Amino acid sequence: MSAEAGEHAIEIDGLWNTVGAGQVLHRNLDLHVRRDEVMTLVGGSGSGKTQLLRVILGLKRPVAGSVRVFGVSWDDPGFKKVRDARRRMGMLFQNGALFSALTVFDNVAFPLRERGGLSEKKIRAIVHAKLSQVELDPQHGNLLPANLSGGMVKRVALARALALAPDLLVLDEPTAGLDPDRSERFVQLIKRLRADHRFAVLMVTHDLDTLYELADRVAVLGDQHIIACGTLEEVQHLPHPFVRNFFGGDRGRRALAQGEAAA
């Protein structure tokens, strides 16, 4: 295990966040993600899940409150401390966000080259290992992102996110845009990689199948804060309209049945 259990990968306390002309999006929001768990963030459209991810990733500065990733706030003065915390985190964007001018190989090699201190030979070996982990052949390395299918883009982006062997993986809608078969294969891939490497995961998803398959705990974002956070069993029977609609609909019951059957 790369990090000691019991500590937190992400600690958000008293977060206030606004959008547009001062419209409050998050009000006094708390969320703690342990270093050994898969935390899934769910919430209705427009509830601010993506904005919360942006704050966690340091792409947006909150109005108030504290956001710490591996105990480090993005505003901390120590350049090295912040950089090291960033290197312990991998991000899978919803649409991959691969560098369109670089080949698959160079995309995966990018964080390794940025890290420095590695010879090209070592980088080549690591990139091929990462491509193999996400079930891609070495010859895929020469392709440009424009020549990849949606599923391949996700896998290359996952390989890039895992390049520095992160302790925390942030996934934004990992199965969005994939057909059910590819979606299932991608979820299994993440599950297998996590079993091998034991990284923490923070995942935003609308897909109940993915949620039931991967999540250890679920945080429900609604009414500008986390209205519930706990295991699936604890959260899904809460008497909140969003929770009732999200888990209690036909799709929810079907996914639950499948999840229980799989378990």
Partner 1 sequence: MRVRAYGEWTFNGLKARREEILRRLAELREQPQDRIAWDLTRIADLDDAGALWLARALRGAQQVEVSPQHGEILAHVGRGLRVSDVLARPVDPLLAVVATGEAAMRFGVHLRDATALLGQIVLDAAALVRRPRDVPLREFSAGMFRAGVTALPVTMLVGFLVGIVLTYLSALQLKRYGADLLVINIVGVGVVRELGPMLASIIAAGRSGSAITAQLGVMRVTEEIEALAVMGVSVTTRLVLPKVLALAIALPLVAFCTDLAALAGAMLVSRFTLGIAPAAFLEALPRAVEVVNFWIGIGKSAAFGFAVAFVACHYGLRVLPNTESLAAGVTRSVVAAITCVIILDAIFAILLRNVG
Identify which of residues 98 and 220 has a Cβ nearer to partner 1 in the complex.
98
Q: Give the gyration radius of the chain's Cα atoms.
A: 18
Q: How far is the CB of 12 from partner 1 (least distance, A)?
A: 17
Query: What are 12's two structure tokens?
Result: 């958000």
Rounded to whole angstroms, the Cα distance separating 33 from 71 reads 12
Give, in order, the Cα–Cα distances in Å from 184 to each of 175, 203, 211: 8, 16, 11
Encoded amino acid at 73, one letter: S
Neighbour-count burial of 55, counting CB atoms closer than 10 A to its CB (0-12 exposed, 13-18 middle, 19+ buried):
buried
Token pair 């440009």: residue: 144
Identify which of residues 157 and 220 has a Cβ nearer to partner 1 in the complex.
157
Identify which of residues 111 and 248 has a Cβ nearer to partner 1 in the complex.
111
Which spans in the chain are helix H? 49-57, 79-87, 104-115, 120-133, 150-161, 180-197, 208-214, 232-235, 241-248, 250-262
Encoded amino acid at 108, one letter: V
Identify which of residues 54 and 194 has a Cβ nearer to partner 1 in the complex.
54
State phi, psi for 24 to the nearest 5 degrees.
-70, 125
Query: Residue 213's closest CA among 256, 161, 154, 162?
Result: 256
- Binding mask 107-136 toward partner 1 (x if CB under 8 A, else -) reads ---xx--x-x--------------------
Identify which of residues 49 and 86 has a Cβ nearer to partner 1 in the complex.
86
Q: Count of residues binding partner 1 (CB under 8 A)?
A: 20
Q: How far is the CB of 18 from partner 1 (least distance, A)?
A: 16
Only one of the segments 4-12, 40-48, 51-59, 179-187 lies at the binding site for partner 1 (rule: CB under 8 A); that segment is: 51-59
**93 forms part of the interface with partner 1 (CB under 8 A):** yes
**147 forms part of the interface with partner 1 (CB under 8 A):** no
Q: Site residues for partner 1, window 62-91 (CB under 8 A)? A: 82-83, 86-87, 89, 91
- Binding mask 1-40 toward partner 1 (x if CB under 8 A, else -) reads ----------------------------------------
Among 24, 46, 64, 99, binds partner 1 (CB under 8 A): 99
Binding site for partner 1 (CB under 8 A): 54, 57-59, 82-83, 86-87, 89, 91, 93, 95, 97-100, 110-111, 114, 116
